[in-house]
Amino acid sequence: MRALCWTGVNDVKVEKVPDPGLLNRQDAIVKVTASSVCGSDLHLLDGYVPAMAAGDVLGHEFIGEVVEVGPDVSRRRVGERVVVCSIIGCGRCRYCRQGTWSLCDNTNPNPAFLETAIGHAGAGIFGYSHAMGGFAGSHAEYVRVPYADHNAFPVPENVSDEDAVFASDAVPTGWMGADIANVGPGDVVAVWGCGGVGQMAMKAAYLMGAERVIAIDRFPERLSMAREKAGAEILDYEKTDVLDALKEMTGGRGPDVCIEAVGMESHGKGPQYAYDRAKQGLRLQTDRGLTLRQAIMACRKGGVVSVLGVYLGWVDKFPMGAVVNKSLTLRSGQQHGQRYIPRLLELMSQGRLEARHLLTHPMSLDDAPKGYDLFKNKKKGCVRAVFYPFNGHKSAAA
C-alpha cells in the first residue's frame, strides 16, 4: 500500500510499504478514508521530537472503515464506519478507567524514552515517534488499530467524513481544553491559536456557557474563521498589544480562562521571541514559551490557564511568580479523547457542532508532501489539509 513516511527533518515522501496485519488479538485493521494533518505533526517534521527514524509512517487524526478484526474484538464489526482516537488507550488500566486515557499505562511499548525525559510514560500515539510507542500512522491506505473496542467509535450516518475526521483529535482536544478549565456560564475565555484545536476550544467554551470568547492569532484567514465559525472576538497580536487589549476588553480583570493552543514552536514579536528562537536554535531550551507566558500574564487573579499546545521538554523564563501570586490553576494534558468522542459525535449528529470548515485543503495521499508544505507554511489559507487515500479526485489543493 501507499503511506506517507517521515524521511528526515522537513522531508516526507509517499512510499510503497507492506499492508498492516493484525499483531494482537484485540486489533482491528481500518481502511483509511480520510486522514488529517495536525499542528503537532510540525514538531516531528521540524525535528523537535526525538526518536523519529526514516521510514516512520505519519498521521494520527483519521476515520475509516473496519475491514478486519482480531478474535478478541467484540464491539467493532467489519464494515463499520469509525473515527479512531489519535491517542491509544487500553481501556482497563486505572488511568483509562478514570477517563484520563492519554495517561494509559499499557499502550507505550517504548516507555523509557519518556520515563527518562519526563519521569513517566504516557499513552501511545499513532504516527508520533518511537517515544510515543512507534505505532504506524494513518497517512496510509490501511492502519492497524490496537485495542479496537476502546479506540474506534462508530460514526452516526448523518455525520459527514469532513466533520467526523476531526472528532479524532482536534475536536476532543479543544473540548478538553475548555472542560478541564471548568468553563461555565458568564466566563470570558481567551484562546491563543486559531488552528483546528484552538477553534474547537472556542466552540466548546460557548457550548459550555461562556459569555465571551476572544481569539488571538496573526493570520487574517484564521482570525476570520474564528470570528465567523466560532463566534469569537478577535485580536491580531501583530497589530495589537495582547495584554493591554485583554485588560481593556475585560474591565481590567483579565480573562477567566486562558487556553493556550499553540505549543512549543510559538511565534511572536519583540525581544522575547528573538530570545526564545535563539535559545531553541542553540538547543539551550527545547520549547518556546512565548504564548504560554502571555496566557499566564493575561489570566485574571484566581483564573485557570489550560495548556493544549504540545510541549515536550523545558520552557525558560516560566513566570512562576504570576502563577503563585495570582493563585492561578494550571491544567494541561494530551487529549483524553475516548472520554469525549461519543458525546461529540452526538453533538455533530444533532447539528450543534461542526468542524468541516477547518478542512481547507482536501487532497489525495499522493499529494501529502505538498499538503504538509501548504499547512506548515500557512500557504493559500491552509488550516487543515486532509488526505483521501482512495479518492484521488478530491485533490483540490494545487
Partner 1 sequence: MGAKVKLAVAAVAVGGVAAAVRRRRVAKTREWVVMTVLREPRELTGDARPDALARLAEHHEVRVTAAPGGRGSEIAVRPATGQARESLRAVKQLLETGEVLRVEGQTEGRRTAVGRAVLPAAKRLARRSA
Residues within the interface to partner 1 (CB under 8 A): 1, 3, 5-11, 13, 15, 17-21, 23-26, 47, 50-57, 72, 90-94, 97, 105-107, 109-113, 115-117, 124, 130-131, 133-136, 140, 142-144, 146-147
- Residue number, 140 or 205, with CB nearest to partner 1: 140
Minimum distance from CB of 20 to partner 1 (Å)? 5
- Residue number, 9 or 243, with CB nearest to partner 1: 9
Minimum distance from CB of 347 to partner 1 (Å)? 30
- Residue number, 133 or 389, with CB nearest to partner 1: 133
Minimum distance from CB of 47 to partner 1 (Å)? 6
Report the run of H or E that residue 8 belongs to, with start and end. Answer: strand 2-8
- Residue number, 26 or 360, with CB nearest to partner 1: 26
State the Cα–Cα distance between residues 244 and 233, nearest whole angstrom: 15
- Distances in Å between the Cα of 228 and the Cα atoms of 176, 224, 357 are 22, 6, 10
Q: Which residues contact 258 (CB under 8 A, 6 or more apart)?
A: 189, 190, 192, 295, 296, 298, 299, 303, 304, 305, 306
- Residue number, 144 or 339, with CB nearest to partner 1: 144
Minimum distance from CB of 131 to partner 1 (Å)? 7
Buried residues in 356-382 as b, exposed as e (16+ CB within 10 A): bbbbbbbbbbebbebbbbbbbeeeeeb
State the Cα–Cα distance between residues 27 and 124, nearest whole angstrom: 14
Minimum distance from CB of 4 to partner 1 (Å)? 9
- Residue number, 19 or 346, with CB nearest to partner 1: 19
- Contact indicator for 257, 302 with CB cutoff of 8 Å: no
Quickly count: other Cβ atoms within 10 Å of residue 319's Cβ: 17
Helix (H, G, I), strand (E, B), or coil: what is residue 206?
helix
Minimum distance from CB of 43 to partner 1 (Å)? 12
Minimum distance from CB of 252 to partner 1 (Å)? 43
- Distances in Å between the Cα of 38 and the Cα atoms of 146, 215, 260, 374 are 21, 19, 16, 12
- Residue number, 72 or 211, with CB nearest to partner 1: 72
Spell out the SS3 assignment of 297-344. HHCCCCCEEEECCCCCCCECCCCHHHHHHCCCEEEECCCCHHHHHHHH
Q: Which residues contact 182 (CB under 8 A, 6 or more apart)?
A: 257, 304
- Residue at grid coordinates 458525546: 343
Minimum distance from CB of 372 to partner 1 (Å)? 14
- Residue number, 109 or 342, with CB nearest to partner 1: 109
